[in-house]
Structure 1
Amino acid sequence: MSSSEHHNGKASVRRRGLLALAVLAPAVLATAACGFQPMYGNLGTNSIGTAQLQQVDIGVIPDRYGQKLRNLLIDRFYADGRPAATLYRLETTLTASEQKLSIQKDATATRAQLVVLAPYRLIDATTGKILFQANARSFISYNVLEQQYGALAAVENAYDRAILEISNEMTIRVAAELGRKT
């Protein structure tokens, strides 16, 4: 390779680097200018994850798994303890169904799927107006075991994973909705 070819190769790499910078710089500036805010980052003393979620009262959710979901939401929404007065109310319910996935010749299942659905809505506490409604859902697969304790533990674990997934989705979506309102 001659010296001029080597020089042209370095120049080509520099041009590609400058071209990439020229393309990416406007995109980064446009994102900053559009009001983009990180959901979990601190914005001075106020952040979506703490101040606005603290304004939501989480309604009672029936049944044992509903109580587990409510406790997870309380942990996520109330970082500094429960507020005395709230502006919003979150209402939800849970329904679950189990489907057999892998069936053997003797009609026993070796794999199953748990489907948990949680329709929810965010309500203005003063007017009663529904501000936002959505459905959170989770699909969790698990092994169907022959031992009674192992089978119960597998199902319980599947419910716990599904409820955790639903609580995460609800927290993110409610925080995003509240972030739009400010």
Structure 2
Amino acid sequence: MQQRLAGVEVAPIPDRLGQIMHNHLLDRLNVAGRADYRLTVALDQSTQGYGIRPDAAATQEQLTLVATVTFTKLDGEEVIFTEDMRARTAYDLVLSDFASVQQREDSARRLVLELAERIHRRLALYFTRLETADGEG
């Protein structure tokens, strides 16, 4: 399975969070040699404030990160699967804008790494099933 994972080309993912995910996936997949598959990921980030104070300011924020994952076989461009993966977290908003921004960035970084691990597990599951099917056929 590791040999098949190493044959996955990870397409560049825009923005800083995409760069973090891209690098983490490259490390986990141990990409080397000729690619047989392409992994494409699009990230979408949204926030929602809640826990409202009397002055109508939010005291907490919920961060949601959605990764739209497309896995393609390069010969013939056959799409093997497309899947949306979601991760969510919440953090407190404090009086210091700097601290709130740091919390938001740290939360987003943790979520993107969590999603990268889920993508890795999804690919490993696909290749495990493929090897099982090859062994039976």
Q: TM-score, normalised by structure 1?
A: 0.69
> Structure 1: how far apart are the matches of 2:124 and 2:82?
13
> Structure 2: how far apart are the matches of 1:97 and 1:124?
31
Equivalent residue number for residue 77 of structure 1? 29
Root-mean-square deviation (CA, aligned residues, Å) is 1.0
> Structure 1: how far apart are the matches of 2:79 and 2:8?
13
Give the conservation status (yes or no) of the 8 Å contact 1:140–1:161.
Answer: no
> Structure 1: how far apart are the matches of 2:18 and 2:119?
14
Indicate the SS of the match to 1:93.
Answer: strand
> Structure 2: how far apart are the matches of 1:135 and 1:66?
15
Consecutive unaligned residues of structure 2, counting only runs of 5 or more, are 132-137
The correspondence for 2:107, drawn from 158, 161, 177, is: 158
State yes or no: 1:68 paired with 2:20: yes
Equivalent residue number for residue 51 of structure 1? 3
1:1-182 equivalences under 5 Å are 48=1, 50-78=2-30, 82-182=31-131
Indicate the SS of the match to 1:146.
Answer: coil
- Displacement after TM superposition at 1:52 (Å): 2.0
Consecutive unaligned residues of structure 1, counting only runs of 5 or more, are 1-47
- Displacement after TM superposition at 1:64 (Å): 1.2
> Which protein, 1 or 2, shows the higher relative CO under an 8 Å CA cutoff with sep ≥ 6?
2
> Structure 2: how far apart are the matches of 1:105 and 1:86?
56
Indicate the SS of the match to 2:34.
Answer: coil
- Displacement after TM superposition at 1:140 (Å): 1.0
